[in-house]
Structure 1
Amino acid sequence: MNLALWIGTGLLAAVALTGGVTKTFVPREKLAAAPGGGWTGDVGAGFVRTLGILELLASVGLILPAVLDVAPVMVPVTAGCWVLLMVGAMVTHGRLGEYRFVALNLVYLALATFIAWGRFGGAGS
């Protein structure tokens, strides 16, 4: 089970890192033109950048606490925060009729839920 949790955590951290870099460093106008990025045209650049920075922090918070064994409880806390972020993403994409992205966010939400459950002790570890 621990291996499955590490694999899931690594995958989710990679997703968070990719999304964070994109939202932090790619201009909002370019994001708005990309598939699934239409929502960025309706919000300020600061909001998009803030989400990107939060995603970058999530990528760190999913991995480093467990690797360094410093406040490892931050891993499931970060995964729980990712669940909340994905709920917001699903609502946003749903309002825009982007159901393909709602489904993708649901997969990320399920993965984060698995990590939070497993690392909070649900896996019996």
Structure 2
Amino acid sequence: MNIVLWIIAGLLAAVFTATAVMKLSQPKEKLAAAGQAWTEDFSPGMIKLIGALELLAAVGLILPPLVGVAPVLVPLAATGLVLTMIGAAVVHARRREYSSIGVNMVLLILAAVLAWGRFGPYPF
């Protein structure tokens, strides 16, 4: 199970690093034009904040156990991503972007499994 949790952590870290870099490096208008219409409801600063938090979570999923410092950050980062995906699903539901909610739920479930595993029976 430890290998499965590492794979989940790696997948989540890769996805959230990619989305965070996109949010941090692209202007709001370019994100909206690229199909992320939800950005219309948020200020540029809020979009950058979301990107920064996603990047911190991605780093928190991988780095602490690799360097052997504060591995409890892994389930905490995963829990933060669960909350982020709940918020994302709510935003998409309000905007009637139901197809996007499926992706949010898959990421939420993966993050929840990781949080459960690292808080519970498979800590570092």
TM-score, normalised via structure 1 length: 0.94
Which residue of 1 is the match for residue 53 of structure 2? 54
Partner of 1:38: 37
- Deviation of residue 55 (structure 1)? 0.8
Query: Which position in structure 2 is the counterpart of 1:64?
Result: 63
**Aligned match of 1:113:** 112
DSSP-derived class of the 1:70 partner: coil
Q: Distance in 1 between matches of 2:29 and 2:111?
A: 29
**Aligned-residue identity in percent:** 52
Give secondary structure in 1 for the equivalent of 2:80.
Answer: helix
**Aligned counterpart, 2:20:** 20
Q: Give RMSD over aligned pairs.
A: 1.3
Aligned length: 124
User: How far apart are the structure 2 equivalents of 1:71 and 1:14?
Assistant: 21
**Stretch deviating more after TM superposition (69-78 or 26-35):** 26-35
Q: Post-superposition shift, 1:121?
A: 2.0
Could you tell me which amino acid in structure 2 is paired with residue 94 of structure 1? Answer: A
1 CA distance for matches of 2:13 and 2:110? 11
Distance 1:121 1:5 in 2: 12
Cα offset, 1:123, TM superposition: 4.2
Q: Which segments of 5 or more consecutive residues in structure 2 lack a partner in the other structure?
A: none
Q: CA deviation at 1:32?
A: 1.0
Per-residue displacement from partner, 1:36-69 (whole Å, max 9, x unpaired)?
x111112110000010111111110000011111
Alpha-carbon offset, residue 98 of structure 1: 1.2
Structure 1 residues 97 and 68, CA gap change in structure 2 (3 angstroms): same
- Give the whole-Å Cα distance in 2 for the aligned partners of 1:123 and 1:57: 22
Mean CA deviation greater in 37-46 or 5-14: 37-46
2:6 aligned residue: 6
Structure 1: gaps of 5 or more residues: none
